[in-house]
Structure 1
Amino acid sequence: EEDPCPLGYLGAKGADIQMEVIALDSRDAARPVSDGDGVDIIMPPQGGRVIFLGVRATNLSACAVQLTGSLRDTESGRVMAESRTVNLKPTGDGWGASVDADISTFANVGVCPNNWSGRNLFDEDYEIAVQVRDREGRTAKQVRQVRPACNEPEFEVECRCVCKHGYILGEACE
């Protein structure tokens, strides 16, 4: 049957989806995330602070991939998540990925203002999860232990203010 996706099928049909977690850093570069890595807390165009979680994946159609990213406070169990439908950009090796230059291809997980976690969002251990679901309903998911960080020098002070435990909306950040 013809794949209606103009970007084509990535990898082998019928094989299990393989994936790796990537995140955008403060220099707008996507990089793989391993257990124990830092992830940058970034000021997006829509305001607040987010962690941009994306994916490299194979053995699925590049089009209409449901991407879900989340950050979990492992102490309280509370979760912030965002889900969106994305097209993965083929990378020429049978894989496709979220695109560095296009933040809409990443889950924009809103983490600050921090009115949800029982501790600071930065320099503490949290858990991220990234899941993909293809048009046939097949899924793959990976979880990583990470340390979010305020790594945008020009926004550092405000980041450490709005992402701290106990921040109150509208509070002045010096």
Structure 2
Amino acid sequence: MDKYILYTVLVFFAWMIATFICARYWHVDINRPSRSKVYCGSTICILTAIAAAQMSFYKEQVQMELSQEKYKRILNILNDNSDSNEKKERNDYHIKRTELMYDVTEIETNTYANAITNTLVNIVTIIGACIGGALLSLAIIERFDYRQVQLSKKDAYNKAFKRDS
């Protein structure tokens, strides 16, 4: 569980640093600023998807490790060949106890893992989508504004020379 929390927090901070670097220090081409913003926004969106998937993967990995641990404990109990009824009853008791302990641990882990993962994945997804989407939409709006300015210049030019002729 400690390893899971460490990995999840590391992925979250790595995503924050990468997003900050992309948003702050991305090279903006003077000739094509909207294209640079599209690339930056797309990169942030891709980083967001990778970070969210990685955090969910770590949660599933912890749950698989718990399941394998339960399986090993039950196998160790079952490998104890017993002929007497007392040993069989003791083995049944240990199996039930192991299953109960596993169920309690699984419920606690699922609760904590889901809370941590859902919170961080939602933060990453919302902030990443906002930043990446804002850059993408800003680039698209700039592109349309640039075309509108070009069209209005062309219209003004045509009107000016049509009046003269």
> Larger relative CO (CA 8 A, sep 6+): 1 or 2?
2
Q: TM-score range by the shorter chain?
A: under 0.3
- Which structure has the larger Rg? 2
Structure richer in helix, relative to its length = 2
TM-score if structure 1 supplies the norm length?
0.21
